[in-house]
Every structure is written in structure tokens, then in C-alpha cells.
Amino acid sequence: MELLNCKIENLPVRVFETREEMGKAAAKDAAERIKNIIAKNGVANVVFAAAPSQNELIEELLGCGIDWSKVRGFHQDEYIGIGEEEPAGFGNFLRRAIFDRVEFKELHYLLCKPEEAQDKCGEYAELFRKYPADLIFLGVGENGHLAFNDPPVADFEDPKAIKIVALDDACRRQQVNDGCFERFEDVPAQAMSLTMSFIRSVPEAICVVPSVRKAEAVARALRGEISTACPASILRRLGNAALYLDRDSASLAFAGI
């Protein structure tokens, strides 16, 4: 059941009773956008988010009749120093969730050896110059991050498209909370991440944020000052984004929901 459909500044916000309903609605919206991009351009360049928050969206998206052979798939961040076969790696997450389940036109992964990370960032940035992103899927971290743009490293006017970042402690704790790692010490301290300026440049964005653990970040993103103290607050200024929440994640931003 849809509990709320409103707009905060430029950002349409829809709230659903359950995360399953949230994922289904977000997938329907995303599929329509992707199909329209394919109809217009012949191919869609889509950037995926790799996190448990995306599970319902991705599962629903697989059944939406998208011609995946006309989609180039990318992802927005990856740990530095994680093993090639490590299940918590974001490329591996997306392989299990979607990349190995349908036939894409092309898939572009970020994983590399630690000493190659800077070069990999340059290669990925070059890919996006060749194939500009049409749509990006986003989640919001417990600390308000988008991709791995934690508050200490987020820059709304970043000159780079992708960069190496240090992960703050709140971000690393979230990876344990999400069940991706057993211990805080196991979470890599660095990652490659698309920047805030890159995210702002993508014409269309679908952001899905379930769970009560995200309620404070959602409230800050929607009700607080637009600043890098809560990077997700910039969603309110994007031109063609949409935010999907469940009751739990919306509980502090919308009193009485």
C-alpha cells in the first residue's frame, strides 16, 4: 500500500508500507525510464548500486520486460584490496543479483589490484566519457552517503568523475550491520567511488531506501540543510530523480506515517 506521494523541492518521494511494495514501484518506474532511453538512443547506460537495500528493486526489475541486450551495465563503487572471489565485493554482489542472470550488451566492473586502483579510476572515467550514464540507481547510507561519498570526502563540485576514498567508521559499521562482513576489521578501509559531481550529472536517478536503520539519514536528507554533512540531501536538487521509501525508513522524516 502506498502511504504517501509528495514532492520535496525537486524530489518526488513515494512511501510504501513494505520494502517489497517499495521495490516493485521503484522497478516499474525504472523499467519505464530504461525502455524510453532504449527507444530514444538504441541503448541505455545504467549504473547499478550494490547493497542489500537494492534486493527487492533488482528482483522486480528482472521481470519488467527490459531488453537487457540493449543495456550497458556499470556499478558505482568497489572496495580496494578485496579478493576477486570475495562475496562482499560489489561486482560479485551484482553478478549474483542481476549481471549473471540476464544477457547485457556489455558489463564493466571496477575490481582491480590495489596498486592498479588509480589507473582503474581513470579507465572507468574514460568509459563514461565514451558511454555517458543515462540512469543511476542509488541507495542512502546510514551516514547519508551516496555511493561511497561519506561526509568527510563528499564534494558536490568534485572535479573528478571517480576517485579513491577513505571509508569513515560509520560507513564501515554499516557493512557489518548489512551482513556483508562479520567484523568491522574485515571491512576494507578504502574504495573507488563515483563522485557527487558525477552522480549529479546523470540525467535520471532512482533511489531506494528501506529499513529503520536509514530513518535518521532519510530525515536529514529531506528535512535538513543541503550540505555534504548529509550528501544525500543533494537529491532534493536533482532534476529527474525519484526517492522510494518504506514505512520504516520514512518514519522520522514524516511524523505519524
CATH assignment at residue 94: 3.40.50.1360
Per-residue pLDDT, 202: 98
How much is the pLDDT for 85? Answer: 87
> pTM for this one?
0.96
C-alpha dihedral (39, 19, 242, 234), degrees to nearest 10: -140
pLDDT at 239: 87
* Residue 255 placed within a domain: no
Q: How confident is the model at residue 179 (pLDDT cuts 50, 70, 90)?
A: confident
Q: Does the structure show a pLDDT above 90 at 178?
A: no
Q: What is the mean pLDDT of residues 150-167?
A: 98
Give the number of residues written for the chain.
257
The total number of structural domains in the chain stands at 1
Written as nine digits, the cell of 183 is: 567484523
The answer to the question of residue 256 being in a domain is no
Q: pLDDT tens for residues 118-154? A: 999 999 999 999 999 999 999 999 999 999 999 999 9
Q: Half-sphere exposure of 160 toward its Cβ, with a 13 Å CA cutoff?
A: 17
What is the rounded end-to-end Cα distance, in angstroms, of the chain?
Answer: 12
C-alpha cell of residue 217:
539519514
| pLDDT tens digits, one per residue of 101-110 | 999 999 999 9
Mean pLDDT of 80-92: 92
Structure confidence at residue 84 as a pLDDT band (50, 70, 90): confident
What residue numbers bound the domain in which 68 lies? Answer: 2-250
Q: Which residue has the cell 557489518?
A: 176
Q: Per the domain annotation, does 24 fall within a domain?
A: yes
Range with lowest mean pLDDT among 14-18, 109-113, 191-195, 219-223: 109-113
Is residue 24 pLDDT above 90, yes or no? yes
pLDDT per residue over 214-255, tens digit each?
999 999 999 999 999 999 999 999 989 999 999 999 999 998
Would residue 132 count as lying in a domain?
yes
Is residue 234 a part of any domain in this protein? yes
Split at pLDDT 50, 70, 90, the class of 209 is very high
Q: What is the mean pLDDT of residues 169-190?
A: 90
- Whether 257 is in a domain gets the answer no
pLDDT greater at residue 85 or residue 201? 201
pLDDT at residue 19 tops 90: yes
Average pLDDT for 74-99: 95
Rounded distance, CA 44 to CA 200, Å?
Answer: 18
What does each C-alpha distance from 145 to 176, 195, 229, 230 come to in angstroms? 16, 11, 9, 7
Residue 11 lies in a domain: yes
Closest listed residue to residue 241, CA positions, set 10, 87, 70, 71: 10
Instruction: Let me know if residue 194 belongs to a domain.
Output: yes
Residue 1 binned pLDDT confidence (cut-offs 50, 70, 90): very high
